[in-house]
Amino acid sequence: MKFVIEKKELSTMTTLVHRAASSKNTIPVLSGLLIEVSQDKGLVMTATDMEIGIKAFSSQVEVVDPGSVLVNAHYFSDFIKLLPDLPIILELNPDTAKLAIQYGRSSSSINTYRDFEYPDLPLSNMERKLSLPQQVLKEALRKTSFAASQTHFRQVFTGVLFDINAAGELRVVASDTHRMAYYRLPLEETVEEPISFIIPIRTVNELMRLMDDSPEPVNIAITDNNALFYRDEVILLSRLIEGQYPSYEQVIPPNFNTMVKINSQVLLNTLERAKTMPTDDKLKIQHVQLEFSEKEAVVHSFSEAMGEIKEVIEEITTQGDPDLKIAFNTSYFLDITKLMNGESETMDINLSGSLGPAMIKNPEKDNYIYILVPLRTSS
């Protein structure tokens, strides 16, 4: 095997693909990056740990001798990244089983895996379900995935739900049972039947890296236990999370007692100051308490060890019952306030009582909501 490629192209591909390789040593070949070159396909790189797999293609390569080699993914990627911006010549020596890498007048060689049996990605039985603009899918995942749980005894809460209903509307949902982020999008193409599947957060993170902020489409295909996202010359395959996602629409309150419109930037600044207050052993969860009245909101945070912060936010607009006291997890409230501040001058906080779920949204958009469950406090 021998081929020539520009350093930038080689580094771009290895950076995309190598992250799917295993970082554990239990099965050595799964920590590898499979490099294949041929006259008809050009350069193909694949990495997988059997939970996630990434395959990338490039025609910007000069193939001298076709062939394949398996190298350690993480070492190879780190090394290629540091090479000078020159044409790179890669050649496998079959006698020594080393991959020679030549750059200018310098060269190096790295060990390869001998007599490996690398698993094929199960791509043949995938059935395409829909296409979405990359910028739309990226926005949907950015606005939802942070609400998923890092760990949970019910694994469905560690992933993001894709739910397509009979009316052809896509709902992207994530929840850790204390909060829920919900993004909906009418699809331009017809879907034959309703379908839902859950992808792990790790898949979401890799998918976000693979996509551009462009209207170019990303295609989605699925089988019983895998999802496939593909665009241009990159494929990402992910094992799905098994299990039934709870009925998320039942979490959304049917009506509200108090509706508050508040300045996003002012609230953000207040919450960031409240976040500096340390968590006490007694309190366990860092939280802020809010008291709403007709024209102002008082935000209070307290630490037995450090002190307290009490801030008044003026010029709010209130509808319904103006007098209400409620407490929220500071980090959870801050997450949505940062997101809202990035796209709207004001944000709506709709309240269903001091212990009922709150719904937070952009007053100018109706395709995204955030449900936040308040905390019970002694004060």
- The model's confidence at residue 304, banded by pLDDT at 50, 70 and 90, is confident
**Ordered strands of the 62-65 beta sheet:** 62-65, 2-6, 87-93, 98-103, 106-111
Angle at 13 between CA 29 and CA 197, to 5 degrees: 75
pLDDT value of position 379: 58
290 CB neighbour count, 10 Å cutoff: 24
Residue 257 has pLDDT above 70, yes or no: yes
Query: What is the residue-wise DSSP string for 237-300?
Result: EEEPPPSPPP-GGGGS-S--SEEEEEEHHHHHHHHHHHHTSPPPTTT-S-EEEEEE-SSEEEEE
Closest CA to 34 of 84, 68, 75: 68
Residue 123 predicted with pLDDT over 90 = no
Amino acid at 87: P
Domain ranges of the chain: 2-111, 127-250, 252-372
**Residues with Cβ < 8 Å from 41, sequence gap 6 or more?**
57
Q: Output the six-digit token pair for 306.
A: 């450090």
Model pLDDT, residue 362:
97
pLDDT tens-place string over residues 56-107: 999 999 999 999 999 999 999 999 999 999 999 999 999 999 999 999 999 9
Mean pLDDT over 238-245 rounds to 96
Predicted local confidence at residue 65, as pLDDT: 97
The rounded distance, in Å, linking the Cα atoms of 154 and 150 is 11
274 band by pLDDT with thresholds 50, 70 and 90: very high
- How confident is the model at residue 22, as a pLDDT? 94
Tens digit of pLDDT for each residue in 161-178? 999 988 889 999 999 999
Please state, in angstroms and rounded to a whole number, the distance separating the CA atoms of residues 160 and 137.
12
Q: How far is CA 36 from CA 10, 32, 63, 89, 220, in A?
A: 13, 13, 10, 14, 25
User: Looking at domain 127-250, what is its CATH homologous superfamily?
Assistant: DNA Polymerase III, subunit A, domain 2 (3.10.150.10)
The amino acid sitting at 261 is K
Average pLDDT over residues 251-255: 94
CATH number, domain 2-111: 3.10.150.10
pTM of the model: 0.92
What class is the 252-372 domain? alpha beta
Q: Spell out a b/e string for 320-338, using b for 16 or more CB atoms within 10 Å of the CB, else e.
A: eeeebebbbbbebbbbbbe
Instruction: Show the tokens assigned to 197.
Output: 């599947």
Q: Which two tokens stand for residue 189?
A: 């193409």
The DSSP 8-state label assigned to residue 125 in this structure reads T
Distance between CA atoms of residues 52 and 367, nearest Å: 30
The answer to whether 2-111 and 252-372 have equal CATH topology is: yes
Average pLDDT, the chain: 94
Q: Cβ atoms within 10 A of the Cβ of 57, count?
A: 16
pLDDT at 198: 97
Q: How many CA atoms lie within 13 A of 100 on its CB side?
A: 15
